[in-house]
Amino acid sequence: MPKAAGFYYDIRETNSELPPLILLHGSGGTEADLLNFSESISPNTTYIALRGGVPWDGDLHFFGETRTGLWTRAI
């Protein structure tokens, strides 16, 4: 799986002139979770699926929680 800017990602490029879909999985998911969904809503569109980079409770997320209850960002 390729990695850039600290994120693992999956890209499917097409010749479509539509803007690409950016796919961000839910808490505890992976970049593969939304691939079937993207195919069903726009089968010929380029997609970029990112994997969250914050390990938390044994899963990967895009955000984490600090000890004070505040949310942090992955980047």
> Structural domain of residue 13, as residue ranges?
3-73
Question: What's the pLDDT at 73?
Answer: 64
pTM: 0.72
Question: Tens place of pLDDT for every residue, the chain, 75 residues?
Answer: 777 777 788 899 988 888 999 998 887 788 888 888 888 988 889 999 988 877 777 777 777 777 777 777 655
DSSP character string of the chain: --EETTEEEEEE--S--SPPEEEE--TT--TTTTHHHHHHH-TTS-EEEE---EEETTEEESEEE-TTS-EEE--
Instruction: Give the number of domains in the chain.
Output: 1
